[in-house]
A and B are shown apart, each in its own frame.
Chain A
Amino acid sequence: MTAAVRSQAMFFQARAARQARDSGLQKTLEKARPLFVGKRAKGLAGLADDGLDFAGLRAACEAIRRRVVDDLDVWLELFEARATAGGAEVLWARDGDEVARLVVDIAQRHGVTKAVKSKSMLSEEARLNEALAAAGIRPVETDLGEYIVQLAGEAPSHIIAPAVHKTLAEVEALFAQHHERPVQARTAADIPALAAEARAVLRQHFLSAEMGISGANFLIAESGSAALVTNEGNGRMVTTLPRVHVVVTGIEKIVPTLDDFATLMRLLPRSATGQGISNYVSLLTGTRGADEREGPEKTVFILVDNGRAALAGSDFAAMLRCIRCGACMNHCPVYFSLGGHAYGWVYPGPMGSVLTPLFTGIENALDLPHASTGCNQCGSVCPVNIPLPALMHRLREMQHERGLRPWRERLALRAWAWLAARPGLYRWATRRAARYLRWLTDESGRIRVLGLAPEWTAGRDLAPPPGRTFHELYAARKRA
C-alpha cells in the first residue's frame, strides 16, 4: 500500500454505526434511492421502443470489455501508439504517488498556478488535490457535486453523485461561507439560484486556470482518444479553455473501436442516471492545430496502474470490466443504509467493497466484503455483468485462507465442520437447536432476543424456525 492511499476502510463498523445514526443523512438517502432506481428502470424500459433490450446490450458490452481485459497488454500498446500519433503525450504511473508527482511536475514546467478539474475518481485515489495544493497549485473541482464536497473538505460519497449526502441547507451554508455572503433561508425552489451562483464563480476559474485535469470514461484504441461523458459541460470547459490538459485514467479503460464506444454509450448513461444519452460526450485526441486559436497546446494521458495490473488474469479480472456507472450502489440496500462515507475509501457500494480490499490490501478492509446481504441486486443491474457478490465471497474466502478472520469465528467454523462430518451427532444437535429456538419464540410469534448472540436481535427480530429440523420434516413428508 502506498502512502497516497489513506484508507479508513478498516474502521467500517464504527463509521457505519455513526452514519446509520445520522438522521439528516438517512433522510437524504431515503429521498435519493427511489429516484436513482426509478430513473434507471425508466431509461431501460425505453430501449424496447427501438427493439433493444438490456440483456442483449449487456452481453455486447460485456464482450467488448472482456476483449480488452483478456489482452490488456496488447490494447495498451495499441492505444499508446495511436494516442501518441494523434499528438498527445502518454505517461505511465505505477501508483497514486507517481500520479501526483507527474501532474505536479507537468504543472510546474508549464507555470501553472491553478488547475480546474473535471470529476476523476482516480485523482481521489492519488490524493491529487493535496499534492497540488502542497506544491502551491490551486486545484478547483468544477463538477457541482465535487465542488460542494471540496468546499466542505470532504470526500465524494458516490461515484456519480458526489454530494448526494448533502442537504440543501448544508449547500447554502457552504456557499454563503465560501462566496462571502450572508446565509439565506432556502427552499427547493432556490436550487436553480444556487446552481447559477456556482456557475458564475466557476466560470471565472475556467477562464483563468492554466491547466485542466480530467479523468476519462473510456480510452478509444482506434483513434487514440479519451472519451468524457458529462451533463454539466465542465468536462468540455476543462478540456477546451486551459493551455494544458492532463487526463488521469486507469489502464483498464480502453475500448477497441468507436463502434464499441457507441454500444457502451447505450448502457452507460441509462445505468447511471436513466438518460438515453448524457448532455455532453466528448472525444479528445491530441492538441490544438497550428491554425487553431483554442484548445490545449499540451495534452498528456497518464495511464495508471495502482493495483489494476495485478487483477489481470486473476480471480478478480471481471472487476477490470467496470465502467463506473454507479448502478450497483444505487441498488444496494447496504449503501442506502449507510451512505458512501461508511466505506472509508474512494469507491463505495458493492464495486467499492471489491475494489478497496484489492487496491489497498485485503487486511486493510476486512469488513467490506461482508457489507453485503448477498441479494445480488448489484450483479443483476451491472451493465457489464460483473458477478459482484461472487467476488465479495471470494474475498471472504481469502480472508479465511490467510487467517485474517477473528479467532472466535475460525473456532466456530471449525466446530461446525467437525459436527457436520458426524451425521448422527449433527441430527441430534440440530434437533436440540430447533426446539430451543421454538422455545425462545414469544407470544407475538417472533424471537426478540437470541440467547447466544444477542447483538443479532438488537435491531431486528428473528422469524422462528418450524421447531423441527429439515431432516425431520423431510422424513415426515416421505412417510405421508
Chain B
Amino acid sequence: MSAREEILQRVRAGLGKRDAAARRAAAEACLSDPARGPQPRMASDLVARFADKARSLASSVEQVGDMAAVPAAVARYLTAQGLPPQAVATGDVAGLDWAGAGLEVAARVAVDADRTGISGCFCAIAETGTLMLLSGPRTPASVSLLPETHIAVVPVGRLVATMEDAFALLRAERGALPRAVNFISGPSRTGDIEQTIVLGAHGPCRVHLILCGETS
C-alpha cells in the first residue's frame, strides 16, 4: 500500500465516519463560500490607520500628491539616508520618470549587490500596516527582499481594511494565487540572541513607504 493510502486509511479508521461523499460536499461548500471570523472595528480613515501601524512596526512613512511626485521623494529619501542614487525596481513602478529625479533605476530581479529595491504593491492592509505583494514576471519578489533598503509605493486607492478584504480583492482581480503572495510588515527582525530585537535579520533593514494620492 502506498504511504498516501496508508495514512488516509489510518485517519479514516480513527475518525470512524461513513458518508464520505456528504462530508466532501460539505467541505467543498465551505470552500466556495468562505465565512469571515470576528472582524476588527476600526476608524474609517484607512490612511491614518495604515501609517500609524506601519510606523509602529519601524517603517518610515511619507505621503505625496500623485505618482509623478514619487521619484523626487525617493531621491530625497536616498540622499537623507546617505544611499547612492541607484536602485532595482519592479515593473509596476519602473515606468516613472526616475532619470528626471537623478536616479538610475533598473527593472529586473534583484542581486546581492543592490542596495535599494523599489516596489509597488498589490494592495496594503490598514489593520496591521502591511504591504501585500504578488510575485510575477514583472514583479519579482527578490526586489523587496535582497536589498538593505526597501521603498514601496502605496497608492491610497489600494488601501483595504483587513487581510480578508485583501483576499477578496485578490479573488476578484486575479482569481488564482500567484507563486508567492508576500505580506510585508516593516523591516526584518530577530530576537534570537538574548531576546534582544535587532532590525535587519535577513531581509531589509529599512522599509520606507510612500503613500501616493490625496486622502479623500
- For residue A111, CB closer than 8 A to chain B, the reply is no
- For residue A108, CB closer than 8 A to chain B, the reply is no
Alpha-carbon distance A257/B184, docked complex (angstroms): 21
> Among B137, B180, B201, which residue has its beta carbon within 8 angstroms of that of A232?
B201
Contact B194 A188 (CB under 8 A): yes
Alpha-carbon distance A365/B60, docked complex (angstroms): 50
A50 to B, closest residue via Cβ? B40
Cβ of A279: which chain B residues have Cβ within 8 Å of it? 57, 184-189, 203
- For residue B34, CB closer than 8 A to chain A, the reply is yes
Cβ of B102: which chain A residues have Cβ within 8 Å of it? none
B166-216 contacts to A, CB under 8 A, are 167, 176-196, 198, 200-204
Cβ of A345: which chain B residues have Cβ within 8 Å of it? none
Alpha-carbon distance A52/B39, docked complex (angstroms): 7
Interface string of A278-313 (1 = CB under 8 A from B): 111111111111011111000000010100011111
With contacts A78-B31, A289-B136, A289-B137 taken as known, whether A262 is within 8 angstroms of B180 at the C-beta atoms is: no
- For residue A203, CB closer than 8 A to chain B, the reply is yes
Contact A164 B34 (CB under 8 A): no
- For residue A202, CB closer than 8 A to chain B, the reply is yes
Contact B195 A164 (CB under 8 A): yes
Contact B38 A282 (CB under 8 A): no
Query: Residues of B within 8 Å of A, CB-based: how many?
Result: 75
Contact A50 B42 (CB under 8 A): yes
B24 to A, closest residue via Cβ? A74
With contacts A76-B11, A236-B141 taken as known, whether A223 is within 8 angstroms of B200 at the C-beta atoms is: no
- For residue B109, CB closer than 8 A to chain A, the reply is yes
Least CB distance from B185 to A in Å reads 5
> Among A163, A278, A312, which residue has its beta carbon within 8 angstroms of that of B15?
A312
Contact B27 A74 (CB under 8 A): yes
Interface string of A250-294 (1 = CB under 8 A from B): 010000111110110110000001001111111111111101111
Cβ of B130: which chain A residues have Cβ within 8 Å of it? 277, 281
> Among B15, B26, B34, B38, which residue has its beta carbon within 8 angstroms of that of A56?
B38
With contacts A50-B127, A257-B31, A303-B7 taken as known, whether A191 is within 8 angstroms of B198 at the C-beta atoms is: yes
B5-49 contacts to A, CB under 8 A, are 6-8, 10-12, 14-17, 20, 23-24, 26-28, 30-31, 34-38, 40-42
Alpha-carbon distance A171/B130, docked complex (angstroms): 32
Cβ of B38: which chain A residues have Cβ within 8 Å of it? 52, 56-57, 60, 263, 266
Contact B195 A233 (CB under 8 A): no
With contacts A60-B37, A92-B2, A283-B180 taken as known, whether A161 is within 8 angstroms of B14 at the C-beta atoms is: no
Alpha-carbon distance A28/B198, docked complex (angstroms): 18
- For residue B140, CB closer than 8 A to chain A, the reply is yes
- For residue B128, CB closer than 8 A to chain A, the reply is yes
Cβ of A138: which chain B residues have Cβ within 8 Å of it? none
- For residue B3, CB closer than 8 A to chain A, the reply is yes
With contacts A206-B202, A279-B203, A313-B14 taken as known, whether A262 is within 8 angstroms of B141 at the C-beta atoms is: no
Cβ of B145: which chain A residues have Cβ within 8 Å of it? 233, 236-237, 240
Contact A231 B12 (CB under 8 A): no
Contact A98 B11 (CB under 8 A): no
Least CB distance from A313 to B in Å reads 4
Least CB distance from A383 to B in Å reads 12
Contact B202 A277 (CB under 8 A): no
- For residue A73, CB closer than 8 A to chain B, the reply is yes
With contacts A31-B195, A191-B194, A305-B10 taken as known, whether A92 is within 8 angstroms of B185 at the C-beta atoms is: no
A47-67 contacts to B, CB under 8 A, are 50-52, 56-57, 60-61, 64, 67
Cβ of B35: which chain A residues have Cβ within 8 Å of it? 257, 259
Least CB distance from B65 to A in Å reads 29
B31 to A, closest residue via Cβ? A222
Contact A145 B192 (CB under 8 A): yes
Contact A168 B37 (CB under 8 A): no
B26 to A, closest residue via Cβ? A71
Cβ of B180: which chain A residues have Cβ within 8 Å of it? 239-240, 282-285, 295
- For residue A86, CB closer than 8 A to chain B, the reply is yes
Q: What are 26 A-to-B residue pairs whose CB atoms are below 8 Å?
A: A52-B41, A72-B15, A78-B28, A87-B179, A143-B192, A163-B192, A191-B196, A195-B200, A222-B31, A222-B34, A225-B177, A232-B201, A234-B202, A236-B145, A236-B202, A237-B202, A256-B27, A259-B36, A262-B164, A266-B37, A266-B38, A276-B53, A279-B184, A293-B109, A305-B10, A314-B14
User: Apart from A236-B182, A295-B135, A313-B15, what are 5 other A-B pairs with CB-CB below 8 Å?
Assistant: A73-B20, A164-B195, A233-B204, A258-B167, A294-B141
